[in-house]
Amino acid sequence: MPLGRRIKRGLPNWLSVALVVAVLLVLFGPVLLLALFSFNDSTVISLPWEGFTTKWYTEALDNSQAMTSIGHSVVVATIVMVASLILGTLAAWGLTRIRFRGRPLFAGVHGAVLVVPWLIIGVAGLIYFSQLQYALSLQTIVLMHVVVTFPLVVAVVSAGLIRFNPSLEEAAIDMGATQFQMMRYVVLPQIAPSLAAAAIFAFAWSFNNFEISFFTGGFEQTFPVWVFGVLRHSSNLPIVNAASTVISLAQVILVFALWYGMRLMNRRRGGSDSDVANLMTGSVR
């Protein structure tokens, strides 16, 4: 094969690889820099290094406000994940399995929440709770996070239910299974990857949310709000770098663990790895 023709055929592959590398650098480059400078023995992000140190991680662990804010974020995200998973799964079941008037309208309302900026929702939540004279706290953060998170669960779980053949549900009922047995032994195992993906997305959305937490949290801060407050002083930057590095690493490990678990479940069901990739990237059709 002539050299020019081989280059022409191989060029799209090289462009694809270059595009993937460029996207990875844009997405993970700032995180890698953050992790790199968390070991720098200086409060200023600059080169060359003044020396290698791990003292910022020790100071982050000893910082009571940092640990409290992280605890708040974990508690809020866990509650939001569970509540959104329950509400979102019920809503997804109704939208995909029950025919009723106005179903397209309800589906559109769920989808519309996903495109409304969090800043607008945060300000609206602040005005709403102010009008009710309801004190801002972690409870108000949870309520507003559920508002923006459970529509995402609806979208992900609905995709799993649409891919699942409803005739299997009918066959289970015809063979004498109750509704509970049908849901437990037929439906839930089939949509388990969708539920797992929805759970991790819900937790991550809530944990990393800043706009809504900032406007509806009052004096109880989550981790993103705490970071925003302490970054006004440059001396706190290394502590933020250290804490953020640990949290980012934990989230990456959690996502990869979920992906591996979903691969195992999907292979047992006879699916392919591309199905897992679609769920993990949120490609809902």
- pLDDT per residue as tens digits for the range 202-229: 998 999 999 999 999 888 899 999 988 8
User: Which structural domain range is residue 24 located in?
Assistant: 1-28
Residue with token string 């929440």 = 113
- pLDDT per residue as tens digits for the range 186-202: 788 778 888 888 998 89
Mean pLDDT value across residues 16-36: 80
* Same structural domain, 136 and 15: no
Mean pLDDT value across residues 111-134: 90
**269: confidence class by pLDDT, cuts 50, 70, 90:** low
* Same structural domain, 10 and 129: no
* Same structural domain, 75 and 165: yes
Residue 28 pLDDT more than 80?
no
Tell me how far the alpha carbon of residue 198 is from its chain's centroid.
8
pLDDT attached to residue 284: 41
The average confidence (pLDDT) of the chain is: 81
More confident residue, 130 or 234: 130
In a domain, 48, yes or no: no
What percent of the chain is predicted at pLDDT more than 70? 85
- pLDDT per residue as tens digits for the range 57-109: 888 888 888 899 999 999 999 999 999 999 999 888 888 877 878 778 888 87
Mean pLDDT value across residues 32-54: 78
Mean pLDDT value across residues 49-55: 80
Residues forming beta bridges with residue 40, ordered by sequence position: 52
Give the CATH number for residue 215.
1.10.3720.10
* Same structural domain, 119 and 197: yes
Residue 47 pLDDT more than 80?
no
Spatial CA neighbour of 204 closest among 90, 266, 96, 280? 280
pLDDT attached to residue 283: 44
Rounded CA separation 254/248 (Å): 10
* Same structural domain, 16 and 127: no
What percent of the chain is predicted at pLDDT more than 90? 25
Mean pLDDT value across residues 116-139: 92
* Dihedral class, residue 2 (left if φ above 0, else alpha if ψ from -120 to 50, else beta): beta
- Please say whether the beta carbons of 208 and 224 come within 8 A: yes
- Please say whether the beta carbons of 170 and 187 come within 8 A: no
pLDDT attached to residue 70: 92
In a domain, 41, yes or no: no
Residue with token string 């406007």 = 215
More confident residue, 277 or 117: 117
Looking at the 3D structure of the chain, how many domains does it have?
2
Spatial CA neighbour of 109 closest among 91, 129, 86, 133? 91
Residue 152 pLDDT more than 70?
yes
pLDDT attached to residue 87: 92
